[in-house]
Structure 1
Amino acid sequence: MLSARGLCLLFCAAASATQLLDRNLVYSSPFVGYPQFSHDTRKIEARHVRNVKRQVVGSEGFVDEHYPTFYGGDFSNSAFLWGGGINFTHSVASGDPLDDSVLLWTRAAPASGGAQPNQDIPICVSFKIFDNPSLSGRPIDTGEAFTTYDVDFTLKLEATGLKPDTTYWYQFADCLDSSSVSPVGKTRTISSPDTPADQVNGGKPLTLAVFSCSQYQAGWFNAYGVAAQNTSADLFLHLGDYIYESLGNGAKIGRKTLGRELATIADYRQRLNQYRTDSSLILAHQNAPWITVWDDHEVADQSWKAGTADSNDTLIGCSFSPSGACFTDRKLAGVRAYHEWMPIRQVDVSDKLRIWRNFQIGKLLDLTMLDTRQYDRDITDLYYNTDINSIADVTNRSLMGAEQENWFYSTLSQSKARNAVWRVVGQQIVFTQLDESTGFDVDAWDGYRANRNRVLDHLYQNNIDNTIILSGDSHANWASDLAHPNDTVTYNSATGQGAIGVEFAGTAVTSGSSFGTGILPAAADVISTTLVAVNTDLQWSEGSYRGFFTLTLDPHFANATYWAMINISNPNFDAFPSAKFVVQNGANKLARPVAGGSVAAGVLKSSVVGH
C-alpha cells in the first residue's frame, strides 16, 4: 500500500521530474556547461513523461520497442515511478564537507525480479539527515531525487542548512516504500573559516586518516576498517589510486577482478562497483566524510595530460592499447565514473577536470588538495620514452599546469595571511628527493625538479611556515623534513634547522611494495638503511607493511601515526602503530629525536651509523 507521500509522488512526478533529476548532482557532475558530455535531464524527463502519458492516453501511436516491456504488451499499467523495490547495493557515503553542507551518496538499484538494467522508469530516493544517531525528532534537511540507469543508479545529494563543526547521521529510503531504507551513515561538517584554532572540533584535536593505492586483487582493504574502528579519525583523505584499471591474479585470496582492462564507462563502473563491495571500505565510507583526489590508475597507469603508458592519442590510432581505447576516451569515461561513484563536488562549472580545491577548517588549517597527475601534467616516464631525467630541470616543466600552480601559491599565501596555524597539502606523489641508488623516480617530483624548487622558493621567500605535505603513490612509507635537495649549507639534517616544513608519505592500502612485492621487513630494512643514509632530508623509511597513517592537529602540535597491517590476505583488523612523529607549531621540522628515537618498523636516519 502506497503512503500518502508515495501517492503524491506518483501524481506529481511528471511535473517535477526535471527538478528531482537535477537534485541528483551525478547527472551534471563533472560536465556542467558541457552538454555534449553531460546528461541532459530534459531529455531524460521527456523519456519519463512518455511513460507517464501511457496512464492517460490510448496506446495507439506509441511504438512499443522504444519503451520498457517488462509490464507486458499492455502499457496501460506502466508506472510513473519505479515501484518494484530497490536495493541500496553499496551502503552509503559522504564527502567534501563544508561548514554548512555535505554531500551524501548512495546507489539505489532496482530490486531483482523483473527490472531490466536499461529500464527507463526513474527510481525515486528520499533522504533525511539528523543531529542524533537514533534519527529521532525533526530532520535537519530532507528531500527526494531521481536516479536512473543513465548514471548507474548512483545518487549524490547536497544536505544543506547544517551547523558548523557538527556530527550528523543520515539515511536514504525508497520514496514509494518508507520501510525500504539504506544503512545509517555518519558524517560531519567542518568549522567555519573564522573559528579560532583552539575552538575547532569543539576544542579537541582534529584527526585526518590518509590513504592511497588500494588495488583489489593485491589484498583486502583492511586499512580502511582499522581506521574506522581503531582511530578517532574525523575526516578520511584519499590521495589517489582508489581503483586500478588493470587486471591481476587475486583469485587465490578471493579477489579476482571482473571485466577487462578499463576503457569504457561500463568498464569503469564495473570496477568501482566491485571495489565498493569490500566490507572495510563500506564501513569507512559509512563512518566519516571523505575528501579525495585521483592519481593515475583512476584512468590508466602513468597518465599525464595527453596520454598514459599504454594509451596515447596517435595518428595511427590506438589498436596497440590493451584496452583498445585511446587516452581521451578513457579519461572521459574514467572521470565520469569517478564523479558518479565518489562523494566529491564539482569545483568549477567551467572546468570539468578540476578537482584541486581548498578547505578552510577554522583558523586551525587549510587543507589544500592538488591534482599533480591528470589536470595539466607534462609528460612523465612511460617506460619507453626519452629519459625524463634529462628534462627534469626544464624551467617551464610542470606537474600542475600554470593555472593550478599559481592558484596553489596564492592559496598558501592566503592561508598564511588569514593566520591559519597549519597548511596541509594533500597530493599524489613523493615530494622529497629520493636517490634510490639506481636512480630517481622521475614519475614523482624528482622528474619535475624545477617545479619543486618553485614550491620551496615560494615557502622560503614568503616565510610560509607550518606546511605539511601528504603524499601517496610510492607504496612505501617516508617521513622527511622539507628543504631544497642536498642543501647541507642552510639545512642541518641532524637537527632539522633550516627546514621549511615536513612531508609524510604513506604506503599503499594493498598495492605491492616498491621495494619488491611481498618483501619481508628484514629485507626491506636493508634497503631503507641505504636510503636514509644517502638522502639528506629523509628521516625514516619503511617498505614492507601495507597500511595508512593519521595526522592529528591542534594549535600546538601535529602528530602523525603510521599504521601497519599484519595480514591483507583475508579480512581482519590486525594492525599496529609502526611509527609516531611530532611537529611543533613554528618549528618547520620533525621534532628531535625523530619519532622519539624508536620505531616499531622501518629505519630511522638517527639509527644509522654516522648519523
Structure 2
Amino acid sequence: MTSRHRSPEPSPAAPTRTPSRRTVVKAAAAGAVLAAPLAAALPAGAADTAPAFLHGVASGDPLPDGVLLWTRVTPVPEAVPGSGIGPDTEVGWAVATDKAFANVVAKGSVTATAAADHTVKADVRGLAPATTYWYRFTAGPTDSPAARTRTAPAADAAVPGLRFGVVSCANWEAGYFSSYRHLAARGDLDAWLHLGDYIYEYGTGQYGTRDTVVRPHAPANEITTLADYRIRHARYKTDPDLQALHAVAPVVAIWDDHEFANDTWSGGAENHTEGAEGSWTDRQAAAKRAYFEWMPVRPALAGTTYRRLRFGKLLDLSLLDLRSFRSQQVKVGNGSVDDPERTITGRAQLDWLKAGLKASDTAWRLVGNSVMISPFAIGALPAELLRPLAELLGLPKGGLALNTDQWDGYTDDRRELLAHLKANAIRNTVFLTGDIHMAWANDVPYHAGTYPLSASAATEFVVTSVTSDNLDDTLKVPEGTVAAVAEPVIRAANRHVHWVDTDRHGYGVLDITAERAQMDYYVVSDRTDPRATSAWARSYRTRSGTQRVERTYSPV
C-alpha cells in the first residue's frame, strides 16, 4: 500500500501512566473536541467526492498485543448504507506511534464490499502492551481522519490504575450525544464501555422524545430488515460527538434489547409482531449481522457478545449477552419469576461466567451487564409517580413492583450466581450496568429482605441514559422534581441502594486501582442542546475486600 501522509505535525512524547500524562492529554483534547462544530449530521452531499469516510473510524476490544480497527468507506456517492450496491474497494490501514505517521509499526489492507455494507475491520496484532497508537484508513486518494487507540496491559503486568468511560441508552431522536463529547474531551480514558442500546429501533416519534423529535431517525420507519438496521447504525455513526469518542479510545460494547427490539428474548420481543413484521428469526439475524458489521466488536462466539478481556493483574472484564439466550419475560404474581427452568443468561453463558469469576487471579472482576442485577422492589408510590414509573420500568401499577426484564425476572440465575460467589469466596466483583435510564449505586445482597444484617455478594454501578427518557422526561416536569420524591421511597424499600437519580442524563467514569473501584457520575445540562455542558454529580466507591458501596466526595 502506498503511504499517504497529511501535513506533518509534532510527534507527541510517548505517553506514560502518570498523572502528568492524564493532565496534558486531557487539556489538549478538551480544547480540540469542545471547539469542534456540533452539527447533527454530515451534509447530504458529503459523498460527492468518493471514496469518502463519512462515518468516522473506531477501535475496540483492546488486547495486550492488538486492537480491532473499524471504518466504513463510501466508494461511490450512490453506495449509501443499506443500498447493497457499490464496487469492491481496497481499504488500506496503518498503525503508528505518532499522529504524523512518521513511525508506522503495522499496515495492511482489507476489501470493502457491498455484502458487508462497505464496512471493514482489521484485527491488528503484534503491538506493544499498554501503549497509545494512532491509526487511519486509506481508499484511493482519500485518507480517513487519524484516530487514537490504546492496547491493554500485559496479562501479568502490575497496573497502578485504569480509567474507563461508561455509557448506555442513546436515543437519537431525544437529543444530542453531549455525553460522548465530554468523555472524548477528557483524553484520559484507557477505553470506554457501552452497556447497550447503542441504537434504538423505533420509527420516528414513536419512543421517548417528550413529544418533540429533536432530530429524526433514518430510516423514518421502525427498523426490521437488514437494510433498515444498516441505515440506522449509519445514521448514528454520523454523529460528531460519537465520532469524536470513537476517535480517542477503544470501545468495549455489548448489546441490550434496542439493538433488536424492545424487551428482546431468545424467541421474540415485546416490540415485534410476528408475521406483520416478518419472522423474529430473520429480524434477529439481520440485527446481529448489522451490529457486527457496524461495531468494532470481536465476537467470541457466532452471534453473541459475551466474551472476556483482561487488563493486567488489575482486572478482568466479563461481558454478557442477556438477550440471545433468555426465556420470555413474565408477569409478577404467580411465582414464575422464580422458576428454575427460566434463564436470563442461558446455561452455557452462566457456566462460563461462573468459571471465569472463580478462575480469575486479578484484583477486580468487572461484569459488563446490560440490565440491573440488584433486587428492586417497591410498594406504594404517590399515584402521580407510580404510573410513569411503571411505564418506564415495566412495572405493575399497584402492589409489589418488579421489573421482570431485569434479573428480578430470573431469580434462580441470580441466586445461583451469588451463591457461587459466596461458596468460592470470590471478592471484588463489580457489576457495571445500563438500561434503566437512571443512575444507581448498589450493594448486591445475598438476601435483600434481611439486608444489611446479611452480607453483600458484590456491588453494582448503574449509569443513566445518554438521552433516553427518564422519569422527569416522562412526566414533563423540571429536572430533579421526581428524584426528590422517588429516591427516598426507593431507598426505604431497598436498603442495599445507596443512591438513585431518576431524572438526569449523562455518563460515568470508572477509575480503578488495587485499593478501590470508584464511579464518578456526571450529568449534562440539557439533552436537547448540542452544546450542553457537563457537571460532576456524585461519586461512589467500593474498597477492596468490602463488597459494599460508600460515598466519596470528589471525582478522581
Range class of TM-score, shorter chain: 0.7 to 0.9
> Residue 544 of structure 2 is aligned with which of 559, 565, 585?
585
> Structure 1 residues 4 and 524, CA, compared in 2 at 3 Å: closer, same or farther?
closer
- Alpha-carbon deviations, 1:549-599, whole Å to 9, x = none? 1110011111110011111112124011111112111121113xx344x99
Q: Which residue of 1 aligns with 2:408?
A: 446
1:484 deviation in Å? 2.0
- Alpha-carbon deviations, 1:517-556, whole Å to 9, x = none? 2542032220111001111211101011011111100111
The answer (yes or no) to whether the contact 1:485–1:536 under 8 Å persists in 2 is: no
The answer (yes or no) to whether the contact 1:389–1:447 under 8 Å persists in 2 is: no
Q: Which residue of 2 aligns with 1:193?
A: 155
Q: Which residue of 1 aligns with 2:424?
A: 462
Distance 2:377 2:176 in 1: 31
Q: Which residue of 1 aligns with 2:329?
A: 380
Count how many residue pairs are aligned between Structure 1 and Structure 2: 484
Structure 1 position 527 matched with structure 2 position 486: yes
> Structure 1 residues 256 and 587, CA, compared in 2 at 3 Å: closer, same or farther?
same
Moved more, 221-230 or 266-275: 221-230
1:208-227 matches, within 5 Å, as 208-227=164-183
1:424 deviation in Å? 0.6
Distance 1:4 1:240 in 2: 38
Partner SS, residue 455 of structure 1: helix
Letter in 1 for 2:260: V
Distance 1:421 1:114 in 2: 48
Q: Which residue of 2 aligns with 1:69?
A: none
Q: Which residue of 2 aligns with 1:31?
A: none
Letter in 1 for 2:201: E
Distance 2:282 2:256 in 1: 17
- Alpha-carbon deviations, 1:272-302, whole Å to 9, x = none? 1111111111101111100101001101111
- Alpha-carbon deviations, 1:104-148, whole Å to 9, x = none? 1111112438999555631111111001222212x1110111112
Structure 1 position 307 matched with structure 2 position 268: yes
Distance 1:252 1:396 in 2: 43
> Structure 1 residues 533 and 120, CA, compared in 2 at 3 Å: closer, same or farther?
closer
Distance 1:253 1:168 in 2: 39
1:159 deviation in Å? 1.5
Partner SS, residue 348 of structure 2: helix
> Residue 279 of structure 1 is aligned with which of 237, 240, 257?
240
Q: Which residue of 2 aligns with 1:61?
A: none
> Residue 572 of structure 1 is aligned with which of 491, 513, 531?
531
Structure 1 position 476 matched with structure 2 position 429: no
1:412 deviation in Å? 0.2
Partner SS, residue 527 of structure 1: helix
Structure 1 position 511 matched with structure 2 position 468: yes
Letter in 2 for 1:302: D
Structure 1 position 256 matched with structure 2 position 216: yes
> Residue 424 of structure 1 is aligned with which of 366, 369, 381?
366
Q: Which residue of 2 aligns with 1:331?
A: 284
> Residue 357 of structure 1 is aligned with which of 303, 307, 316?
307
Distance 1:308 1:472 in 2: 19
List gaps (5 residues or longer) in structure 2. 5-48, 380-397
- Alpha-carbon deviations, 1:318-352, whole Å to 9, x = none? 12xxxx2221111000000000100011213xxx2
Distance 1:533 1:236 in 2: 33
1:303 deviation in Å? 0.6
Partner SS, residue 130 of structure 2: coil
Distance 2:102 2:138 in 1: 16
The answer (yes or no) to whether the contact 1:474–1:514 under 8 Å persists in 2 is: no
Distance 1:264 1:445 in 2: 29
Distance 1:357 1:226 in 2: 28
Q: Which residue of 2 aligns with 1:406?
A: 351
Q: Which residue of 2 aligns with 1:135?
A: 101
- Alpha-carbon deviations, 1:456-496, whole Å to 9, x = none? 1111111100010011111111111121242436x34xxxx
Letter in 2 for 1:345: R
- Alpha-carbon deviations, 1:356-401, whole Å to 9, x = none? 011111110011101112x2101115xxxx5476301112321100
Moved more, 246-255 or 520-529: 246-255
1:483-502 matches, within 5 Å, as 483-488=445-450, 491-492=452-453, 498-502=455-459
Distance 2:95 2:409 in 1: 46
Letter in 2 for 1:136: A
Q: Percent identity?
A: 32
Letter in 1 for 2:254: V
Structure 1 position 289 matched with structure 2 position 250: yes
> Structure 1 residues 346 and 582, CA, compared in 2 at 3 Å: closer, same or farther?
closer
Structure 1 position 344 matched with structure 2 position 317: no
Structure 1 position 434 matched with structure 2 position 376: yes
Q: Which residue of 2 aligns with 1:237?
A: 193
1:427 deviation in Å? 0.9
List gaps (5 residues or longer) in structure 1. 7-83, 600-611
Q: Which residue of 2 aligns with 1:42?
A: none
Distance 1:122 1:229 in 2: 36
Structure 1 position 93 matched with structure 2 position 58: yes
> Structure 1 residues 5 and 275, CA, compared in 2 at 3 Å: closer, same or farther?
closer
The answer (yes or no) to whether the contact 2:195–2:433 under 8 Å persists in 1 is: yes
The answer (yes or no) to whether the contact 1:388–1:442 under 8 Å persists in 2 is: no
> Residue 87 of structure 2 is aligned with which of 104, 112, 121?
121
TM-score, normalising length: structure 2: 0.83
> Structure 1 residues 5 and 462, CA, compared in 2 at 3 Å: closer, same or farther?
closer
Letter in 2 for 1:343: P
The answer (yes or no) to whether the contact 2:375–2:444 under 8 Å persists in 1 is: no
The answer (yes or no) to whether the contact 2:67–2:123 under 8 Å persists in 1 is: yes
> Structure 1 residues 407 and 119, CA, compared in 2 at 3 Å: closer, same or farther?
closer
